[in-house]
Amino acid sequence: MPGLTVKGIRIDDTFAEAFGMRATALIITADSAKWARQAAVTMTGMATSVIGCGCEAGIDRELSSKQTPDGRPGVRVLLFAVSTAELQKQVQTRVGQCVLTSPSSACYSGLDGEEMLRLGDGLRYFGDGWQISKRVGAKHFWRIPVMDGEFVCEAAAGLTKKAVGGGNLLIIGRTAQTTRAAAEAAAAAIAKAPDVIAPFPGGIVRSGSKVGSKYKGVPASTNDAYCPTLRGAVKTALDDDAGSVLEIVIDGLTSDAVASAMRAGIAAIVKLGAKRGATRISAGNYGGKLGPHHYYLRKLLP
Amino acid sequence: MTRLTLTLRERPSQRLDLSPLVPHLLAGKSAREIERIELQTTRHRVELGEVFRLRMGEAEQICVEGGCERLDYVGREMASGEILVEGDVGIQAGRLMSGGRLTVRGNAGPWAASGMKSGVLEILGAAGDRLGGPLPGEIGGMRGGIVVVCGNTGERAGDRMRRGTIIIEGDAGPYAGARMIAGTVIVCGSAGVLPGYLLKRGTIVLGDRCDAVSPTFVDCGVHQLVANRFMAAMIESHSKSAARLMRRPLRRLAGDMAVLGKGEIFVGYETI
């Protein structure tokens, strides 16, 4: 595929194709940053892909005690799903099982959305009649008595329908080690970008998928065109020097946030250089026919 | 924005009904139309121009210069904008307010914020009896909004309150938060006898001494709750002393067990 070369890294003249999603942001606080992070990590666990997890979720950023509603350390998490109903279900289940249960935690809306999702309004029933509703100004929250005191939870969380899921970078290198180094650098840069998450383990996915399978009922299967061990056996997308491919998938609250994160990721890979990192950057798409958001790599170069 | 200013010429000869002087009712009116608004509460007719000197401006901001306890119903059913009174007001200031901000730089009479639904009422002096309470025959009192009283209040502040927040930076009279259905009453100073009398739900916070708490409130121990920290952050812009009080460890008394018993009184004076 023709493209540019920057610092010895080939950049394909292609684009990442992404889709509209529903998303919300939550702020989880606790007595310490450790426990706020613990609740957030637990809540966003097993949320790598909507295909098998119902939602994609991750930590957007950590918040200091000055940035949270109750003056304690906190974490902002983002959750993405394909429908409002599914997102509602995931929020309720995950906050109920992972945040409500976590010592000293509290949960607030982290987004002023055009519509609202039920948060404390659904979880309040755990209080078995002892829950207390409080409304101050525009804020409405619930106090649910639990064994370490009270679980404070805002009644509703903002929902956005302008979220984007599926922004991506394909990072191709000579060896597994150098490719991973490039992907780690990109993931670290993307982690600092606001309003986005990279939901896969450490922000990186090694099992990129294509739509469909030879097996009936399997919605996605291995992206054989990017598997280096199949290079000679299939219609490959890899060059002869490619020994490993990793992907970074990015979900963002807005299309601009996804573009900025991709730009930061590419810049980090380029900065590492071809010798220590990747030799080529590409992106996954479906020919532009499925997703309305197209991120051209040449427009995101540093 | 130039505010619309009303300067009191002299102490009125009768109690006046200032309820027509709210931003949404004055919007679009000419100076002449405003001066002809009738304010009397007796059979003797009184037009605004007779008791106030009018300086025209935007009706969204109204300033009343020179207060008097005979100025009743200031800001009644106010829905938006700002009213500032440089002095005292009479009964029912801010009654049924549904938005905007009413500031009284003086004292307010009884039933201030009665039935208030939303908005902010700030009284820099003292407030009379039944702050936020219902009028005779009404079922519920205040239903929303924030009331801040920098001075003391009379009897039954927050009577039958259903929602909203009342902050009393001074002392509260007897029966503060009586018959509350929900909502929050914070008293930074001392409180008279039987706060939370027949409290069903809702929160009363007492910072200083209390003459007598009903024995139908049961001790639930001393706690420093996250909810109170959250409340503190939300009320800090209205009252720093109330926010400080909310951040302290407070003893929780649940009650009133004589009725539903789902309410609470937080007391700070035992935990200093």
ipTM for the whole complex: 0.90
The two tokens of residue A43 are 């809540």
E strands of chain B, at which residues?
3-8, 16-17, 52-55, 58-65, 71-72, 82-86, 98-104, 118-123, 143-149, 163-168, 184-187, 191-193, 203-206, 210-212, 218-223, 250-255, 263-267
Distance CA A59, CA A75 (A): 7
- Contact status of B235 with chain A (Cβ, < 8 Å): yes
Is B36 domain-assigned?
A: no
What pLDDT does A16 receive? Answer: 97
Closest CA to B3 of B152, B148, B103: B103
| Total structural domains within chain B | 1
Residue B51 in any domain: the answer is no
Nearest chain B residue (CA) to A67: B233
Strands A3-6 and B82-86 turn out to be: unpaired
Phi-psi domain of B221 (left: phi exceeds 0; alpha: psi -120 through 50; beta: other): left
CATH number of this structure's domain A3-18+162-300: 3.30.70.520
Q: Which of A104, A134, A150 sits opposite B231 (nearest CB)?
A: A134
Residue B56 lies inside a defined structural domain of this protein: no
Indicate the average pLDDT of chain A: 96
Q: How far is C-alpha A138 from the chain's CA centre?
A: 29
Q: Is residue B153 part of a domain?
A: yes
Q: Which segments within A30-138 are labelled E, that is strand?
A: 56-63, 74-81, 106-109, 115-118, 132-136
Phi and psi at residue B240, in whole multiples of 5°?
A: -70, -35
What is the fold, at CATH topology level, of the domain defined by A22-160?
Alpha-Beta Plaits (3.30.70)
- H/E stretch holding A90 reads helix A84-94
A149-163 pLDDT, tens digit per residue, is: 999 999 999 999 999
Calculate mean pLDDT across residues B116-129: 98
The percent of residues above 70 in pLDDT, for chain A, comes to 99
Chain B residues inside the 8 Å CB shell of A135 = 144, 163-164
Any idea which residue has 């291995």 for tokens?
Answer: A222
Tell me: the pLDDT tens digits for B29-60? 999 999 999 999 999 999 999 999 999 999 99
Q: Are B114 and B19 in contact (CB under 8 A)?
A: no
CA dihedral A270→A275→A280→A281, nearest 10 degrees, is -30
Give whole-number Cα distances, A45 to A157, A165, A184, A270, in Å: 20, 18, 20, 30
A129 CB neighbours in chain B (<8 A) are: 262
Q: Which letter does DSSP use for residue A111 in this model?
A: -
Rounded Cα distance, B55 and A189, in Å: 60
Q: Give the mean model confidence (pLDDT) for residues A61-81.
A: 97
Per-residue pLDDT at A157: 98
In sequence order, what are the beta bridge partners of A159? A24, A115
Contact of A23 with A114, CB cutoff 8 Å: no
Residue B1 falls within a domain, yes or no?
Answer: no
Mean pLDDT of chain B: 96
Question: Is B165 at the interface with chain A, CB within 8 A?
Answer: yes
Residue in B closest to A135 by C-alpha: B164
User: How would residue A113 be classed by pLDDT, with cut points 50, 70 and 90?
Assistant: confident
Which residues on B lie below 8 Å from A141 (Cβ)? 227, 230
Chain A positions in Cβ-Cβ contact with residue B184 (cut-off 8 Å): 134, 136
CB A211 within 8 A of CB A219: yes
Three-state DSSP state, A188: helix
Ranges of each domain in chain A: 3-18+162-300, 22-160
Quick: pLDDT tens for B166-184: 999 999 999 999 999 999 9
How many residues appear in chain A? 302
pLDDT, tens digit, 9 for 90 and up, residues A169-224: 999 999 999 999 999 999 999 999 999 999 999 999 999 998 889 999 898 899 99
Same fold for the pair A3-18+162-300 and A22-160: yes
Q: How confident is the model at residue B271 (pLDDT cuts 50, 70, 90)?
A: low
Report the residue from B184, B229, B264 with minimal CB separation from A71: B229
- Residues 6 or more apart in contact with residue A31 via CB below 8 angstroms: A72, A103, A104
Residue pointed to by tokens 């099992």: A207
What integer is the mean pLDDT of A228-251? 96
In a domain, B200, yes or no: yes
Q: Minimal Cα–Cα distance from B74 to chain A, Å?
A: 22
- Please tell me if residue A29 touches chain B, with a CB cutoff of 8 Å: yes
Which SS3 state, helix, strand or coil, does residue B221 take?
A: strand
What proportion of chain B, given as a percentage, has pLDDT over 90? 96
